[in-house]
A and B are shown apart, each in its own frame.
Chain A
């Protein structure tokens, strides 16, 4: 037992604690810094005085953002997208995973259909044909364009079908004997038993829809239809000033590009940052579920 308490071991433990603490800080400090910038005065932010605490505290950047019509519009689009997209994702995942979880004996076509879906993981048409198909199907510039092309989440289906297969078979067997149909078995037995797995998939679907921006950027013709992250893309990427046409010098004393951008970044990250500590158990479960199956 002495091995565990040698000086070398003690030194290692101290160094290890410090090292991991620094790694964790590197993941945390950028967010704190951005928060500090967003609450600081423009003068302080440009002078590089802001570190981890606001300098010359002000709410003005947030007031400016909240008042912006485009920002609220895109926020509304994002909410709609998350609600509609997640609902469709979950419905399709459950409906598709159930038949595919059946044994070959119960459902002889299972493997054919499973490969039909899995093949789309291996091979794809790529950006341009995808874009053109969406155009041809008339979804351009509508909320459906953000929801339907990615409606079938093959990875989620695989995770759920593997989960379904581990469920005890006795319950459904007796239900079938009592004359229950597949829909009944799915609703009354499978879904109630799959709470944790479904919660995790739901969470990932929400985060994916909230974070998606590229599709919105190229599939929406007018910025008025951008979801929040697509709208933010135009701000983050755009190097020109938000205030080029402003003659209001009073306003420029209170906010500048940097503080406004910081405020927008923080609001865009806020839902995930707020939900994360409470739901992190599910986040972990999702990652482990997705990669390591028994």
Chain B
């Protein structure tokens, strides 16, 4: 009857939680249950319970496809490059920004660099298509130096790097703010002590600033581990013309677009869900690992 007493005492709290619990049950846990489709020959009219159960067949089929391993490799390759670039470049920019002496100049630069973060990939994609197109300003500029016209969106070799660069361009300001906040919170007396000891600016950076940023660097680095299979679905979808630009699919097809192509474009629900289940499981492992490491290394807790 302890339960009854608890319900009576805190009924308001349970009522407050109720709407969110229902919505999460339906739209987050519902799809988890729906992963059963991965083991079915799913027909929408028969539903999840009525469709034919085929066991591991969908997985066997996908593993047998020649492009599967290639797509997995593309995903990890692009994601890892993004993780590394997205970790190092913002640290550099934050340290350099901290060296700026003129307040308004520093502030203006900060304001400008994280603006692209808040625009959608549609907007950014539209701008990129215009600027990097055959008649775009980049090619116009290159022609001044007698560089022949580059078709950025038709170049298989270049495409992964185009993804990494443009993603870095769009997101580096975000991480820079976090690092800057960490630098600002370093106790100024440590710098004063270093100056008394005759440490140059460079030595101060090395022995005061970087160690002061270390917990945040460790945190963002560990949390980024969870993204090993996230190569940037929206970005790739936009920049491959909705997965139809066959010129770059060889290097630009990733797990998420593969699922999209199989499931949404071709209505192969079972196959697509099998691929999705694989991704969910691997991601679950890496995301959990990242939170566990963050907890062990710097005592980070989610709640």
Contacts and interface: CB of A to CB of B under 8 A. Distances in A.
A155 to B, nearest CB: 10
Contacts of B291: 122
Nearest to A161: B303
Contacts of B121: 213
B216 A132 contact: no
Interface string A179-212: 0011100100000000000000000000100111
A122 B302 CA distance: 12
B37 interface: yes
Highest count of chain B CB atoms <10 Å: which of A150, A211, A261: A211
A116 B21 contact: yes
Interface in A152-188: 152, 157-158, 161-162, 181-183, 186
A218 interface: yes
B31 A130 contact: yes
Interface string A256-292: 0010011011001100110011001001100110011
A37 B111 CA distance: 24
Contacts of A181: 12
A241 B2 CA distance: 70
Contacts of A236: 122, 125-126, 129, 238
A113 interface: yes
B116 A292 contact: no
B55 interface: no
B272 interface: yes
A98 B127 contact: no
Contacts, number: 281
B177 A107 contact: no
By size class, the interface of chain A is: 35 or more
Interface residues of B, number: 97
Contacts of B297: none
A130 B181 contact: no
Contacts of A51: 137
Chain A, interface SS category: helix
A37 B116 CA distance: 19
B32 A124 contact: yes
B12 A37 contact: no
Interface in A72-130: 92, 95-96, 98-100, 102, 106-109, 113-114, 116-118, 120-130
B54 interface: no
Contacts of A218: 264
A244 interface: no
Contacts of A221: none
A113 to B, nearest CB: 6
Contacts of A92: 19-20, 23
A183 B10 CA distance: 11
Contact of B238 (A207, A233, A268): A233
Chain B, interface SS category: helix
Nearest to B28: A120
A265 B200 contact: no
A28 B303 contact: no
A237 B241 contact: yes
B276 A46 contact: no
A237 B24 contact: no
A280 B14 CA distance: 36
Contact of B287 (A122, A161, A276): A122
Interface string A11-27: 01100110111011011
Interface string B1-41: 00000100010111011011101101111111111010000
Closest 10 CB pairs of A and B: A125-B31, A129-B34, A126-B276, A211-B120, A129-B31, A48-B140, A182-B12, A99-B13, A265-B126, A120-B28
Given A46-B135, A269-B119, 19 more contacts: A3-B201, A33-B137, A34-B131, A92-B20, A95-B17, A113-B17, A125-B35, A125-B280, A126-B277, A128-B264, A128-B269, A129-B31, A151-B27, A211-B122, A229-B120, A258-B130, A262-B130, A272-B118, A273-B119
20 contacts: A13-B101, A16-B100, A31-B127, A117-B20, A121-B287, A124-B28, A127-B263, A128-B263, A130-B27, A182-B10, A210-B120, A211-B119, A211-B120, A213-B122, A236-B238, A237-B238, A261-B129, A265-B127, A273-B115, A292-B219
